Amino acid sequence: MGEFVAEMQERLLPEYEQMKLYQIFRPEQIRECIRKRERLLLNITKSKKSISDYLEFIVYEKTMYKTITEKEKLAGIKLTGLKASTCTRIMRMYREMLIKFPHEQRLWENWIKFSKKSAPQEVAGIYEKMLSYHGGDPQVWINAAVWLYEYNRANMPRVQDILLRGLQRHPASESLNNCFFNIQLKEAALADNKRSLGDNTISEQDIQMERVVAIYRNSLANITNLDYFLKLLESCEDHAELTAKLQFDIIEDIQTKFSREPTLWDALAKRELRGFHLGDLMNMTDNDDDGEPSEKKSRTDTQVKVFQTRSKKRCIQLCTEVYKTAVQQLQTQEMWNLYLDAMLALSKNHKTERAFVQKCLASALQDGHRSKLMHSRHYATLSMILGSDENGGEICVRILTEALQHDDSLRMHELLLAAHIRNDDEPSVHKLFNQVRRTMGAAGLSLWQMVIAYYRARSDSQAKRQLNDIYTQACKETWPEFAELRCSYLRYLWHEHSPAKARDEYAKLAQQPPMSLQLHREMISLIESTKLKDLSTIKAWRMCYEFMATYFGKRDPSVWIEYIAFERDHGEAKSIGLLSRRALSTLEPQFVSVFEAERAMAHVGMAVTR
């Protein structure tokens, strides 16, 4: 082992001479480098080697490589020999490590990442070795093929071999099939489309396209996910004229297999919007029925475009026709959602043909309402559109009332209530609120808040009476979620009536179930806002903390910390000791340590500020 290390160090002598000659490192740094490498070499020559031993050596050599590169740039000299020997050493370390630990995939990935920059000619061979151990991961096959293809297109036969072997192991892998399809399609697009021999031959491009079709046909037998085929269609759009026949075949196949899938109809409609009209593909196939083989026709009639150029308005019209057909055939809320979302996206993104797009959106919303399958979020859009129209208020109420017959969700009630509020129809607001408050329970909190906000904004005598009645009813409810309404009531009394009235109401609510810590803290916040420090204010303030300690002091250490802080800053400091003892005797055992820790932190903070 010692002889091996000595021999290795001797081989490194020329490198150290170059470091000294070109003044890359100082003499003491070179000596340190020798000692460091000796230790690292000993680690990888011992009988029981670990991954970390190799990685430590690799990391050190990579750091050395980086330093040499930086020195090379600063000094303006070429250090190709030093860099090459360091790179070779790193590659050897990776190779030895992966012979011993071949099942560590991340090590292979690190080696390949380094090799792509420093020794790209080695990457293909590394991938081949990696595949023998990690071929169970389709992504490894993809990475190998993509690297080979991008590194040199002349590697195409080898790329095909890798992908075919990968598909033998993973025939149902969508990513692997998609990768093969895209690479082969790129080759077809770049191939020569001219015949070089007689009329009975086919072009290189035709041969390549036959391979693309073969990949698709093979995947059709193994993959059952619609998204995969839609991705293939999107890839074909990049070479629309070349792949026209294949696009038609894909669409025919997926219409047969996935005719009830809303996603399919959505994709076909959006293709129309992008200018890929299905009718053009159908016309192409009709023209192929004249008896001439389709592959020859594609060569001899290359001047004839399959996809005709259409105006944006016409594309939108064709898109909506597909959606209308889809909702008629499927009659599902999901399909209506896709249709309406597409129309909304059009109305936001298209500045041209804006009037026509708005007309399409209005038509879709009306049809969606008639179908009784429109989602509440689209009713919200319809409500917003009608609400912005001077004469749309009554129509909006009528539509939402009809929609409630088949969708009595909270959101639909919110929309109808909002429509009544926009119309300032107080009787309808009050009637709807009385209907839903008894049936919605705690889930109807937002409706209570909307009605309260409405009556507060009106501020007439009738509104004030209604508001007091609603707050009174809200305070009687026992749902914990309604604590927010009790806090709102306190704020209303404090600001609209008087602090005294708010304090009186608080004294009642504080003892009325369900107990709410939020209520007490709201009252404290209101008292603090007055900036008064008279005896009655301090007394009312202290009462809030007493309620908190009484109802929440067993399981919440923070109420005691806040109570102590109040007495320290605003009340009687002499009470702090008594409060601490009360807390320790009141808190459940599991919370005592938390209280003591927070109390100590508060004490330290107070000492620092002083």
Three-class SS state of 409: coil
Q: Among 60-69, 183-192, 556-565, which is the least confidently predicted range? A: 60-69
On the question of pLDDT at 446 being above 50, the answer is: yes
CA distance 537 to 533: 6
Three-class SS state of 351: coil
> CA-CA distances (angstroms) from residue 355 to 346, 348, 359, 383?
11, 12, 6, 19
Compute the C-alpha angle 363/366/367, nearest 5°: 85
Three-class SS state of 399: helix
CA distance 609 to 569: 13
CA distance 376 to 382: 10
Question: What is the reported pLDDT for 142?
Answer: 97
Average of per-residue pLDDT values in the chain:
90
On the question of pLDDT at 431 being above 90, the answer is: yes
What's the average model confidence in pLDDT over 583-587? 94
Cis ω for the linkage preceding 589 (within 30 of 0): no
What's the average model confidence in pLDDT over 515-537? 90
What's the average model confidence in pLDDT over 460-489? 93
At a CB cut-off of 8 Å and minimum separation 6, what does 491 contact? 502, 522, 526
Q: Supply the DSSP symbol for 308.
A: P
Structure tokens at 224: 């059952």
The pLDDT tens digits for 217-257 are 999 999 999 999 999 999 999 999 999 999 999 999 999 99
The pLDDT tens digits for 264-280 are 999 999 999 999 999 99
Q: Tell me which residue of 120, 140, 116 sits closest to 130, measured CA to CA.
A: 140
pTM (whole model) above 0.85: no
* Runs of H (alpha helix) within 260-375: 262-273, 278-287, 294-300, 312-330, 333-349, 354-371
> CA-CA distances (angstroms) from residue 504 to 237, 456, 523?
73, 21, 11
Question: What is the reported pLDDT for 79?
Answer: 84
Compute the C-alpha angle 572/573/578, nearest 5°: 95
Burial 78-106 (b: 16+ CB within 10 A, else e): ebeebbebbbebbbebbeebbeeeeeeee
Structure tokens at 23: 């003044």
On the question of pLDDT at 557 being above 90, the answer is: yes
CA distance 72 to 185: 44
Structural contact between residues 277 and 318, judged by C-beta atoms closer than 8 angstroms: yes
Structure tokens at 446: 């937002």
Question: What is the reported pLDDT for 196?
Answer: 58
Q: Which residue has the higher pLDDT, 304 or 319?
A: 319
Question: What is the reported pLDDT for 547?
Answer: 95
Which single residue is written with the structure tokens 């009784």?
372
At a CB cut-off of 8 Å and minimum separation 6, what does 479 contact? 441, 442, 445, 514
Beta-carbon count within 10 A of 480 CB: 13
Helix axes 426-440 and 410-422, enclosed angle (nearest 10): 160
What's the average model confidence in pLDDT over 67-87? 85
Structural contact between residues 486 and 516, judged by C-beta atoms closer than 8 angstroms: yes
> CA-CA distances (angstroms) from residue 372 to 331, 406, 407?
10, 7, 8
3-state helix, strand, coil in the chain (%, to 5): 80, 0, 20
